[in-house]
Amino acid sequence: MQKDVLLELKSDKILNNLKEGKRADGRKLDEYRKIKIEKDLFHNAEGSAKVFLGNTEVIAGVKFIPGAPYPDSPAEGTISVGTELIPLASPYFESGPPSMDSIELARVVDRGIRESKAVDFKKLCVKEGEVVLIGFVDIYAINYDGNLFDACSIAAISALNQAKIPKIEDGKVVKEEFSGKLKLERKPLLSTFAKIGNALVLDPDLAEETAMQARFSVATTEDNFVSAFQKGISGSLKKDDIDNAIDIAFKAAKEIRKMI
Amino acid sequence: MKKEEKKEYVNKKGLRLDGRKVDETRPIKITAGVLKNAKGSCYLEWGINKVLVSVQGPREVLPKHMANPLKAIVKFTYRMAAFSVPDRKNPRPGRRDIEISKVCGEALEKAILLEKYPNTQIEVWAQVLDSNAGSRVAVLTAASVALADAGIPMKDLVTAVAVGRADGKIIVDLNKEEEDAPDAVDMPIAMMTNSQEIVLLQMDGLFSKKEWEEAYEMSLKALEDVKKHQINALKQQFKEPIETKTTEKKEDNQVFSKSLSKNSPSDETKKEKHSSEKKVVKTEEKEIKSEVQ
């Protein structure tokens, strides 16, 4: 993705400020920007949420579609996360097929949810071996100011958490009727860090993302497990960075979980 | 539901389903310089995984606007052959292929001295021919050998291995059967081992913090083992005097050439010319070469 030249010029300042432990907006290194979650916004979506992370804004919607199960798990439905980095969210997003950034983002958000077994896929089974429900979580970037990973993760979990499961008859969705609500077994949340110089900062904004050498995301659950890691971009991390990130992530995600 | 027999992933003797110890990798075989049209290349077998990696460049960036005036860019392409998985894979790249290409390329960028080649691109093509869990660490391990084979300067080799868990036990280099365990965790990790800088780290599954630490420690030993194979492959490629090397190389390549049945007699002369053009990483190896020349 193309970067903002003015932000690149700011990178040195961000780096120098962090040497004294200071961030441009006055946050602590392990502090999120202001988070706001709005739920159940759209009539046609089975579940939806809008998340503000500072100036970053994303919208997630859930649709359940009946489909055939995978041959190796005939009694289980599944979920699929997609992200759309549309040009309305940033002058640097382009229309066209999903970019590498968008694919990585979707897969990391998906991994955190899927691998923590947040959704009991057995509950999405309609008829074993024939019909199961596939939950599509589609997330649209509305305004991009850094850290889409965490914004998308919060939006996906919020939307899934209050999603209604449509009623299915003869393998087809009965419109406007629901068989119940999807209950999440866990609420895994991603926490993303930027390594800038020797500092590790939580929830980087766009200027900090422009200055970072490495990115690291960790998904944590309420029962003290980590369910996904993803190191991104070309810099490197040491084991201490990761230990540090895990500890901060557990604390930070706990606070966000209360809001969902 | 069918009742399945419970598998014993690690038995009382501490041995796994395929007879390995918990900290033992599958057999690894690496051969550098196997493709005559590539600037650098590597063929790697890691258990059932078989991968072929080529390196081209540094050369002109296309499309041109992608060029970086300060450093080279790395274009890493990971592709699985249609026949490399139990069910035929659609050869069109999926989301998984694209994500793996991205993280592997980023992992190599940290090691390569990109500043030496501004406005150029270094292309790495990783073709998986056969797979059984751990193909991304296989291609990354092979790619850094191929880059060294191409004479591209690096701070250190990038070495990769997967660690994880099956049936509550932390194990190294999971095979497909272990990766399918009900409680499986898979954590690919790549490192420049000299500085212990982590350049690739992914994980899926449920890990406690203690298990992550145990898995990390276990990966360090495995990475050392894998790195020995990488270094040996490069020594084979560069250490021997050129006359003897061509014949020996032919033997080395036998497994590979059998499978692709392409080793025409003209290969020998081409290979000789090709290898003499290559830059050698270590000075002592340079000396051996210049003696021969």
CATH number of the domain that B44 lies in?
3.30.230.70
Mean pLDDT of the region A211-232: 95
Structural domains in chain A (count):
1
Structural domain of B215: 28-265
* In the predicted structure, residue B25 carries a pLDDT above the cut 90: yes
Residue B3 placed within a domain = no
Q: What is the model's pLDDT at position A175?
A: 81
Residue B241: pLDDT band (50, 70, 90) is low
Q: Does B66 touch chain A (CB under 8 A)?
A: no
CATH of the domain at A136: 3.30.230.70
**Residue of A94, A226, A242, A243 to mutate, interface with B, max B Cβ within 10 Å:** A226
Residue A115 has pLDDT above 80, yes or no: yes
In chain A, pLDDT over 70 holds for what percent of residues?
99
Q: Has residue B5 been placed in a domain?
A: no
Note the pLDDT tens digit of each residue in A162-220: 899 998 888 788 888 888 888 899 999 999 999 999 999 999 999 999 999 999 999 99
Mean pLDDT calculated for residue range B134-163: 97
CA distance A236 to chain B (A): 5
Q: A-chain residues within 8 Å CB-CB of B201?
A: 216, 229-231, 237, 242
Give the total number of structural domains in chain B.
1
Q: Does B109 touch chain A (CB under 8 A)?
A: yes
Q: Residue B271's pLDDT is what? A: 43
User: Does B206 contact A at CB distance below 8 Å?
Assistant: yes
Average of pLDDT values for A3-25? Answer: 87
Q: How far is A176 from chain B (nearest CA, A)?
A: 33
pLDDT at B259: 45
Residue B283 in any domain: the answer is no
Per the CB < 8 Å rule, is B95 touching A103?
Answer: yes
Tell me how close the Cα of B102 comes to any Cα of chain A, in angstroms. 7
> Which residues are A85's β-sheet partners?
none
Assign 3-class secondary structure to chain B.
CCCCCCCCCECCCCEECCCCECCCCCCEEEEECCCCCCCEEEEEEECCEEEEEEEEEEEECCCHHHCCCCCCEEEEEEEECCCCCCCCCCCCCCHHHHHHHHHHHHHHHHHECHHHCCCEEEEEEEEEEECCCCHHHHHHHHHHHHHHHCCCCECCCCEEEEEEEECCEEEECCCHHHHCCCCCEEEEEEEECCCCEEEEEEEEEEECHHHHHHHHHHHHHHHHHHHHHHHHHHHHHHHCCHHHHHHHHHHHCHHHHHHHCCCCCCHHHHHHHHHHHCCCCCHHHHHHHHHHC
Domain span holding position A203: 5-259
Predicted model pTM: 0.80
Subunit contact B102:A216, Cβ cutoff 8 A:
no
Pairwise CA distance, residues A209 & A146, whole Å: 6
Decide if B18 is inside a domain: no
pLDDT at A43: 85
Per residue in B38-77, pLDDT tens? 899 999 999 999 999 999 989 999 889 999 999 999 999 9
Choose the weakest-confidence range: A2-11, B196-205, B272-281: B272-281
Phi, psi angles (nearest 5°) of residue B154: -135, 155
The residue of chain A with its CA nearest to that of B87 is A71
Distance CA A56, CA A52 (A): 6
Residue A44's pLDDT band (boundaries 50, 70, 90)?
A: confident
Structural domain contains residue B289: no
Query: Tell me, what's the pLDDT at B283?
Result: 39
CB-CB under 8 Å, A104 with B209: no
Q: Is B98 on the interface with A (CB under 8 A)?
A: yes
A231:B95 CB<8 A:
no
pLDDT at B37: 86
Interface of A with B in 220-259 (CB under 8 A): 221, 224-239, 242-243, 246-247
Could you tell me if A199 and A71 are in contact, meaning their C-beta atoms sit under 8 angstroms apart? no
